[in-house]
Amino acid sequence: MQALANSAAALRPRLKGEEKCNLRNLVVPANTRRLTRLSKRRRNAFEAKMWSDLEEIDFSATAAATTTPADVSDVSRDACGTCRGFCCAWGGTHAFLGKTTLARIATERSITNHTELATLYFDLLPERSYSGSCVFHTQRGCALPRDLRADICNSFVCGGLQAYLTDESGGRPQPQSAGPVIMATTGDKIIRAARSTQDGPAALRLPVSGRRQP
């Protein structure tokens, strides 16, 4: 914990006067993957998995209703934006899209056949995505609209973000208005830092070394 506090202190000179009084830490991982053209091999793997899942869907049945994903808070938006989607690496060539999600989408969008549902997703595959990450993981974030994502994509919160959002002592949500300094890190190195604001993340210039203080 002391190392994290020191990390925030290293960024303190970058903050304006009133912000220094309101300094809070939010440490998340950093996506450091490179953008690359989505390969035919990865595209084919996604399409093969999709067709396999679609085989198991009964389009005459109505899938369980789901709730519209809630808007994320400013802090969550800015943390994930500064991190740039480290956790999306786990989406690989499946994007967590299984038969349960696909049946839900078919019901919500009144889709009645395999080809229509498959085409909906295939048309959204990006030209470029992060190397080795989810096939939908692009420089601008997820290429899928929120209602087409798997539930886990709309609900997952990593440990660093959860620790900030939840009061560890009592499990109470913390106020969102504090506007933390977000540090996206790899090992002991700060890769990116930003101040969360109502208008989005305001990038902070890193200290010269970019390393956490001992």
The residues binding ligand SF4 (CB under 6 A) are 28-29, 79-80, 83, 85-88, 91, 95-96, 134, 136-137, 142, 144, 149, 153, 156-158, 161
Name the residue nearer to ligand SF4 (CB basis): 104 or 137: 137
| Smallest separation, CB 214 to ligand SF4 (Å) | 25
Burial 21-43 (b: 16+ CB within 10 A, else e): eebebbbbbbbebeeeebeeebe
| Smallest separation, CB 18 to ligand SF4 (Å) | 25
Name the residue nearer to ligand SF4 (CB basis): 149 or 212: 149
- Outline where the chain has alpha helix (H): 2-11, 17-20, 40-54, 74-83, 99-108, 114-122, 151-155, 159-165
| Smallest separation, CB 158 to ligand SF4 (Å) | 3
Name the residue nearer to ligand SF4 (CB basis): 79 or 105: 79
Token pair, residue 95, equals: 């994007």
| Smallest separation, CB 96 to ligand SF4 (Å) | 6
